[in-house]
Amino acid sequence: MPRETLLNIILFLMLPATAGAALLLDEPFIITLVTKAAILALAGVGLNIALGLGGLVSFGHAAFFGLGGYAMGILASHAQSYTPLMETPFLIEGTKSMLVIWGVALATAALAALAIGALSLRTTGVYFIMITLAFGQMLYYFAISWPAYGGEDGLSIYVRNDFPGLNTLDPIQFFAITFGVLAIALFGASRIAKAPFGLALSAARQNPERVETVGLAPFRLRLVAFVISGAVTGLAGALFADLNRFVSPTMFSWHTSGEIMVFVILGGVGRLFGPVAGAALFILLEHVLGGISDFWQVYLGLLLLLVVLFARGGLIGTLAGREVAHD
């Protein structure tokens, strides 16, 4: 078995093992932290489809993360106050059903990614990085100044949404849900990478001219990748909102985009489990360093710097050794 596969299995089992141990030790907060890591890893898995596979450096994935969050916030707040979302031309009620909310979050984020992607993918390189950032910022300012759903105050949802057969307010059961979603997303991402679509996308990253000569349009390949990527990150946003029972415009801020990117790079760009390793390490650092000093972000910065400078290929690249095909 290659080292990376072994590492992936260990990483994958580490999350439920930690959550299980926390359950036995009666440390529910640790379960919350592991759940957060799983959700942020999911957002990273989404970004990694665009970033690792497609070579599309999006600095605006907070847009999709936030849209997913607001899909949850808006639907649940209407259900909470028993006011319909829309009455004309047809009635739309709010809902507390997690499954419906996920569907809406996926669809909203996918639509937004389609629009943003169709415009942004005309540019390349740094211009692409910055145009995606611009779209994220637009949504951020819109969310802050739009009073209907709380503006900068955000929206509080008092109870977590329902999932058939489970008590979502119990930390371990909510963890199980998020872990299940993450597992499905990881499986999906691995299938995409090996499918003809993924191979063509990779080829378009490495040599667009050649892809074009065999009759495939790199633009369309990239757009599809961007839409899938945005949708997965949107789903993560809906779960993140449910974890906190709260949404606010900070989900749209460029810091969020930066952090999602940090998870991916920290873990290893283009590695299937890179985002899982990156998010877990980030949460661990935040938790451990935060307890040491008020100025813990200095240490976090130094550590990140060391990883970039001396641990090329991120955590997984360093541990597994073998270089994946990446630029």
Partner 1 sequence: MKLKSLIAAASIAALSAGMAYADAHGGKVKVGMITTLSGGGAGLGIDVRDGFLLAAKGNENLELVIEDDQRKPDIAVQLADKMIQSEKVDVMTGIIWSNLAMAVVPAVTAQGKFYLSPNAGPSALAGKGCSPLYFNVAWQNDAFYEAGGTWASENGIEKVFLMAPNYPAGTDGMTGFKSTFKGDVVGEIYTKLGQTDYAAEIAQIRASDADTVYFFLPGGMGISFMKQYAGSGVDKKVMGPAFSFDQGILAAIGDAALGVKNTSHWSKDLDNDANVKFVADFQAEYGRLPSLYAAQGYDTALLLESAMGKADVKDAAAFQAALEEADFASVRGDFAFAPNHHPIQDIYMREVVKEGDVVTNKVIGVAASDHQDVYGADCKM
Partner 2 sequence: MSLILLIEQVLNGLQFGVMLFLMAAGLTLIFGVMGLINLAHGSLYMVGAFAAAAVAGWTGSFILALIGALAAAAAAGALVELLVIRRLYDRDHLDQVLATFALILIFSEGTRWLFGSFPLFLDVPAALAGPVMLPGGILYPLYRLVIIGVGLLVAAGLFLLIAKTRIGVRIRAGEADREMIAALGVDISKLYTIVFALGAALAGLAGALVGAIQSVQVGMGEPVLILAFVVIVIGGIGSIKGALVGSLLVGLTDTLGGVLLPPLFESFMQASSANSVGSAVASMSIYILMVGVLLFKPSGLFGGN
Residue 153's binding partner, choosing from partner 2, partner 1, none, with beta-carbon cut-off 5 to 8 A by kind? partner 1
What stretches of 120-172 adopt beta strand conformation (E)? 155-156
In the chain, the amino acid numbered 128 is F
The nearest distance, CB 147 to partner 2, in angstroms, is 7
Q: For the segment 232-271, give every residue that binds partner 2 (CB under 8 A).
A: 254, 258, 261-262, 265-266, 269
User: What character string, x for contact with partner 1 (CB under 8 A) and - otherwise, covers 147-176?
Assistant: x--xxxxx-x-x------------x-----
200 and 221 in contact (C-beta within 8 Å)? yes
* Binds partner 1 by CB under 8 A, chosen from 250, 304, 319, 324: 250
Q: Is the dihedral of CA 107, 108, 112, 115 positive or negative?
A: positive
For 170: left if phi > 0, alpha if psi spans -120 to 50, otherwise beta; the answer is beta
How many residues line the site for partner 1 (CB under 8 A)? 31
* Binds partner 2 by CB under 8 A, chosen from 57, 114, 172, 289: 57
260 and 44 in contact (C-beta within 8 Å)? yes
User: By CB under 8 A, is residue 68 in contact with partner 1?
Assistant: no
User: By CB under 8 A, is residue 284 in contact with partner 2?
Assistant: no
C-alpha span between 282 and 276 (Å, rounded): 10
In the chain, the amino acid numbered 90 is F
Residue 262's binding partner, choosing from partner 1, partner 2, none, with beta-carbon cut-off 5 to 8 A by kind? partner 2
73 and 149 in contact (C-beta within 8 Å)? yes
User: By CB under 8 A, is residue 296 in contact with partner 1?
Assistant: yes
* Binds partner 1 by CB under 8 A, chosen from 84, 180, 258, 290: 290
